[in-house]
Structure 1
Amino acid sequence: MYKTTGDVMQGFSKEHTVPYLLQTGDLAMACAMSESVQPLLMSFGRVTTDPDQLAVMMSLQAGGCAEDRGREAELQSIAALRARNPEEAEDAIIRQKRYYALAAERYFKGWRHFKAYYGDPETEECPDFDEDLDEFIYLAGLLSGLQALNAEIQSTAPIGVPKNVGSVAARATSCLDNEKWWGAPMGLRATVWAMIPGAQPEGEDAFERLDASDALGEAAGVRISHVFHVIAAWNKGDMERVRAVIRRHAEAIEKRPPADGWVLVDQLATHNILAISDKLWMENTGHRTPMGGLGTFWDDEAPTGEVIDLDSLL
Structure 2
Amino acid sequence: MTYVRMPAREALPVRIRAKGLLAALLATVMLSGCGVVNKMIYKTTGDVMQGFSRNHTVPYLMANDDLAMGCAMSEATAPLLMSFGRVTSEPDQLAVMLYLSAGGCAEELAREHGLAALAAMHAMNGNAAEDAMIRQQRAYALAAERYFSAWKHHNAHYGEPGTGECPDFDDDMDEFIYFAGLLSGLQALNAEIQSTSAIGVPKNVGSVVARATSCLDNDKWWGAPMALRATVWAMIPGAQPQGEDAFERLDIADEQGEAAGVRLSHVFHAIAATNKGRSDLVRSVIREHAESLEQMPSNDQWQFVDAMATNMIVAISDRLWVEHTGHRTPMGQLGTFWDDQPENVETMSLDGLL
| Class of the TM-score when normalised by the shorter of the 2 chains | over 0.9
Aligned to 2:135: 95
**Which of 177, 195, 198 is 1:155 aligned to?**
195
Pairs aligned (count): 307
Secondary structure of 1:161's aligned partner: coil
Report percent identity of matched pairs: 71
CA distance in 2, matches of 1:145, 1:56: 10
What CA distance in whole angstroms lies between the structure 1 residues aligned with 2:220 and 2:295? 21
Q: State which of 81, 99, 122 in structure 2 corresponds to 1:59.
A: 99
Query: 1:177/1:122 Cα in 2 relative to 1: closer, same or farther (>3 Å)?
Result: closer
Secondary structure of 2:218's match?
coil
Deviation, 1:84, is: 1.1
Give the drift of 1:303.
2.8
Structure of greater Rg: 2
Equivalent position amino acid for 2:46 in 1:
G
- Looking at structure 2, the residues matched to 281 and 220 of structure 1 have their Cα atoms a distance apart, in angstroms, of 29
User: Unpaired runs of 5+ in structure 1?
Assistant: 308-314
Amino acid aligned to 1:277? S
* Structure 2: distance between partners of 1:267 and 1:123: 32
Secondary structure of the equivalent of 1:158?
coil
Q: Could you say which residue in structure 2 is the equivalent of 1:289?
A: 329
1:212-233 superposed Cα distances (whole Å, 9 cap, x missing partner): 0000000100000000000000
Q: Which amino acid aligns with 2:101?
A: Q
Cα displacement (A) at 1:82: 1.2
In structure 2, the partner of 1:9 is 49
TM-score, normalisation: structure 2? 0.86
Secondary structure, aligned partner of 2:300: coil
**Partner residue, 1:146:** 186
* Cross-structure match for 2:36: none
Alignment of 1:1-314 (within 5 A): 1-123=41-163, 125-305=165-345
CA distance in structure 1 between the aligned counterparts of 2:261 and 2:102, rounded to whole angstroms: 24
Deviations 1:29-63 (A, max 9, x none): 00000100000000000000111001101111111
Which whole-Å CA distance do the structure 1 matches of 2:178 and 2:97 have between them? Answer: 9
| Structure 1 vs Structure 2 CA RMSD | 0.9
Mapped to 2, the partners of 1:187 and 1:47 lie a distance apart of 40
Deviation at 1:260, TM superposition (A): 1.4
Unaligned runs of 5+ in 2: 1-40, 348-354
Tell me, what secondary structure is at the counterpart of 1:39? helix
After superposition, the C-alpha distances for 1:78-104 in whole angstroms (9 at most, x for unaligned) are 111111111110000000000001000
Work out the CA distance in 1 between the residues paired with 2:223 and 2:291. Answer: 18
Displacement of 1:124 in angstroms is 5.9
Q: In structure 2, what residue type is equivalent to 1:197?
A: P
Instruction: Give per-residue Cα distances to partners, 1:116-173, cap 9 Å, x unaligned.
Output: 0000014361000010000100000000000000000100000000000010001000
Q: Which amino acid aligns with 2:224?
A: A
One-letter code aligned to 1:80: A
* Structure-2 separation of matches of 1:83 and 1:141: 40
- Partners in 1 of 2:195 and 2:188 — Cα distance? 11
Structure 2: distance between partners of 1:209 and 1:140: 20
CA distance in structure 2 between the aligned counterparts of 1:92 and 1:254, rounded to whole angstroms: 35
Q: Distance in 2 between matches of 1:256 and 1:19?
A: 22
